[in-house]
Structure formats: structure tokens, C-alpha cells
Amino acid sequence: MGCVSVSQEPVSFEPDWSSAEPLPLVPVNQFVTQLGPAAGAQQVPDGIYLTLGTAAPPIFLGSPQRVAQQTSEYGSQVHVAAVARLVLTRERAQEMASLLMTAVSQYDAAAQTGKGLAGDDA
């Protein structure tokens, strides 16, 4: 069997996101972040844990008295349906934060002008 030489030059690849197409779009409105357990000699967290979920307000129906009763019986917690749990390195978390802030800026600019993305007919 021959030897295989690995180039010292960095190689970059273009990501192929086609596997995301069949996934359902799930709205999320609840977020939890936690630092991972400390690891290594310097006891640095092993990552940033991110949990995404959706919470909907409870449904109360009936007369005002019945709604008041349901509200008092319900308690103070709202169920959150978790939809994803992710672990990010510090570097990837920073990249995600930057991408989200860029998207928020683009959204705000589109909202101000009343136009969607370039090329949209909306």
C-alpha cells in the first residue's frame, strides 16, 4: 500500500444546505443558554448549550368568571415544547450571534422601506 501525502495548504469547501429543504419550519419564541461543564487544565466551559422551544399562551374560554377561575387554577408556569438542543463552540456562537445581528439589521431595513429581499415581488 502506498503512502498518501496530505497537502499543507488549507482547503475550503462550499456548504451544501440542500438537506435542510425537507425539514419543517418551526417557530421558536423561547431560548435557554447554558455554559457547558468545565474541561481541561484551565477549566474552560466545553461549549455553549442552546435550547430552542415554543410556548403558547393557555386557552381560557367561557364567561369572565369562568376565565378568572381557569386563570387562578392554571398556575404560574407555561409549558415550553422544546424543538432543538444545540452545542456550539465559543467561536461558532460568536459567528451565530453576528449572523443573527446582520439578519436583524436587514429585517429592520426592509421594514423601514416596506420592501422584502431584493428580487421579492412582495
Here the cell at position 21 is 429543504
Predicted confidence at residue 5, as pLDDT, reads: 59
Q: Kindly report the pTM of this predicted structure.
A: 0.71
Average pLDDT over residues 27-38: 96
* β-strands 48-55, 30-35 pairing: antiparallel
Domain ranges of the chain: 26-89
Here the cell at position 76 is 404560574
Nearest to 36 by CA among 99, 86, 92, 97: 86
- AA identity, residue 121: D
Average pLDDT over residues 96-118: 89
The answer on pLDDT for 22 being more than 50 is yes
Nearest to 50 by CA among 33, 36, 28: 33
